[in-house]
A and B are shown apart, each in its own frame.
Chain A
Amino acid sequence: MFSENQSLLSRLIQNLLLIIYSIFALFPLFWMALITFKSDLQMFNTTFFFTPTLENYKAVLIGTDYIKTFIDNVIVSGGAVLVSVLAGVPAAYALARFNFKYKEDLAFTILSFKFAPEILVILPLFMIYQKLHLYDTYLGLIWVYQLITMPLLIWVVRGYFEDISVEVEQAAELDGYPWYSVFWKILLPLIKPGLVASALLAFIFAWNSFTFSLQLSGFNIQTVTVASLRYIASDTVHYGQMAVAATIAALPEVILALLIQKHLVRGLSFGAVKG
């Protein structure tokens, strides 16, 4: 779309604009990581140069149960993704390969779960979970998180299945493999990279969820998003600790994001856009 002979000025301006946006996007992360090493007293009168300290990390990691919160998050997000993969991959396969009545309706119903307002879900669920003793349990949260992870997984993996030409399957069937063998031994390996990437993306979104865990858990289980609200102590404001909480919460996702680069677009658009 860009011609080769753009003026130097034009190119400089474009780069400048990009640099401005990059600073806007990335500086906050950098600064936040920076102040995790700043002590509370130095918060007010120093900007970039200060004596670093690990006391914020110590206070958060050792002084509070933040590590448990982190692990809770891993369990709930990981569990949700696991369930979604187990139930969703077959569903995606069915949607990709079979023609049956109400197929597209079902598919769009699954998609619409993503658009359901979270508030709509948690208010009635709050009471129902109490009755079912699912309130504040891993199982309860994993189940609710399906609203986040399942539509994503089904739609994206469906796209990956559709990318595989039918001939591959038919060849295997001709060789006498039953359909579940074909699925297991041939199809899954082919979509493995896409599946893993979608699973990781679903994991990230589950990790970031706030509304569900705000109301449907809290005593035994706290996720990092909800716990992040807590980093205002009662007698002084521990900005450094807040930053530590935020940094630790954000770090895994940034790393994961780097891993799923190639499949990001497909995942984000639920398979509508091939990256």
Chain B
Amino acid sequence: MAKSKPVAAEVTQDNSLYNKKPWLTRARPYLIIAPSLLITIGILVPFVSAIFYSLTNYSFRSPNWKFIGLDNWINALTSPEYWHAIWVTIQYAAATTISEMLLGLGIAILLSRETRFTKILRVVLIFPLMIAPVIATLIWQLMTNNSVGIIEKFLNLFNIYNFTWSSSPKTALFTAALIDFWVYAPFVIVLILAGIQSLPKSPFEASRIDGGSAWFTFKNLTLPMLKPFLYIALIFRLMAAMQEFAIIFALTKGGPGDTLMNLSVTAYNTGFAFMKFGKSLPYILTLWLIINIISKRLVANWQKVMKQASGNS
């Protein structure tokens, strides 16, 4: 369906409507948008105050606070916790995004075959995505519980007892990523599946007639044409994974030790659990900075890819 172009407020085929005051006409779109912007920007005003407070030692536990300049920042940048938090953030984001993209792509391809089975599956496989991540963590904790969990009982059949899931530094990241995958893989799958279904048939027909192997088709036809969809999935998932809070918090609050202490959880613990508000802000602002930079690059790339894709079809 052809996308209709926006109608310029000033130029239109019918002049009768726009005989009102010109400035009102020009201002109209802004006026219409204004409420939504006010509402959302109003929420982001705190961002400025966040920078302000990061220069103080504000704490909820004592009513007195004072300016301490860049102390919070210096302390953060010289503390191992800070760099560890960045490292954990990267680890978690990489583990989840990579697994979700790769496996999601594979499952989407499997689902693109038109059978009765896949048609039903496409509908029900969306369910995990609808579950709140906190609830999903709860479910998985129950299932893997060493005393009553169904997965524990299943593993017992293979003589595996008391698997440590989220309790050991060696397996905690795996467990958290597993839950993240369970919730969010359907997101990637649905998106890529939609992409696959929107691909034109003719290039594939041509390739088959020419005797191209499945792998060849995939690499040189499918993947490039799916790029826009892959990009969208990547952007959304990566941005979300870098600031993941709910799953980790519900799972171990950042433990064991500091295995899962990414920037969000560290900031929360410092700022809320210990009420050291000023101290927590460098972590938050760092996170914001990282996300901002990466998302700008990715979105710019995506726009490029979109232009390429629409040029092809």
Contact = CB atoms under 8 A, between A and B. Distances in A.
Whether the complex brings A and B within 8 Å at their CB atoms is answered: yes
Interface of A: 1-3, 14-15, 17-18, 21-22, 24-26, 28-29, 31-32, 35, 43-44, 47, 83-84, 86-88, 90-91, 93-100, 103, 106, 108-110, 112-113, 115-121, 123-128, 143-144, 146-147, 150-151, 154, 162-166, 169-170, 173-174, 178-179, 204, 207-211, 215, 224-226, 228-229, 231, 239, 242-243, 245-246, 249-250, 253-254, 256-258, 261, 264-265, 268-269, 272-275
Given A18-B117, A112-B295, 4 more contacts: A25-B186, A113-B44, A119-B263, A162-B4
22 contacts: A26-B128, A31-B143, A32-B143, A94-B30, A99-B6, A103-B29, A113-B40, A115-B291, A117-B264, A118-B245, A119-B243, A119-B245, A120-B47, A120-B50, A125-B43, A128-B49, A162-B4, A179-B17, A208-B135, A256-B130, A265-B191, A273-B198
Given A228-B134, A250-B130, A257-B127, A146 B281 contact: no
A249 to B, nearest CB: 5
Contacts of B102: none
Interface string B173-210: 00000000010011100110011101100001000100
- With most chain A CB atoms within 10 A of its CB, the pick from B111, B129, B145, B299 is B129
Given A21-B107, A253-B130, A225 B36 contact: no
B28 A257 contact: no
Contacts of A128: 45-46, 49
A17 B287 CA distance: 37
Contact of A170 (B13, B196, B246, B267): B13
A18 B268 CA distance: 39
Given A98-B28, A208-B133, A119 B284 contact: yes
B113 interface: yes
Interface string B104-115: 000101111100
A29 B267 CA distance: 32
Interface stretch (B93-101, B146-154, B158-166): B146-154
Contact of A242 (B6, B50, B138, B263): B138
A1 B6 contact: no
Contacts of B75: none
B86 to A, nearest CB: 14
A123 B123 contact: no
Interface in B204-218: 204, 208, 217
Contacts of B250: 210, 229
Contacts of A245: 138
A100 B4 contact: no
Contact of B139 (A28, A144, A178, A269): A28
B4 A246 contact: no
A171 to B, nearest CB: 10
A25 B178 CA distance: 11
B82 to A, nearest CB: 15
B190 to A, nearest CB: 6
A143 B45 CA distance: 13
Contact of A210 (B107, B132, B195, B281): B132
Contacts of B6: 96-99, 162
Contact of A22 (B44, B121, B191): B121
A207 B111 CA distance: 29
A116 B124 CA distance: 30
B246 to A, nearest CB: 4
A249 B191 CA distance: 25
Top 4 closest pairs, chain A to chain B, by CB: A124-B46, A208-B132, A98-B29, A117-B243
Nearest to B27: A100
B77 interface: no
A113 B4 CA distance: 27
A243 B142 contact: yes
A22 B14 contact: no
B232 interface: yes
A115 B295 contact: yes
B8 interface: yes
B155 interface: no
B74 interface: no
A25 B126 CA distance: 9
B291 A28 contact: no
A179 to B, nearest CB: 6
A110 B37 contact: yes
A25 to B, nearest CB: 5
Nearest to B52: A124
B125 interface: yes
Contacts of B112: 1-2
A242 B138 CA distance: 8
Contacts of A207: 132
Contact of A29 (B109, B127, B229): B127
Given A116-B288, A179-B17, A268-B190, A228 B138 contact: yes
Contact of A47 (B29, B150, B182): B150
Contacts of B138: 228, 231, 242, 245-246
A27 B53 CA distance: 46
B13 A14 contact: no
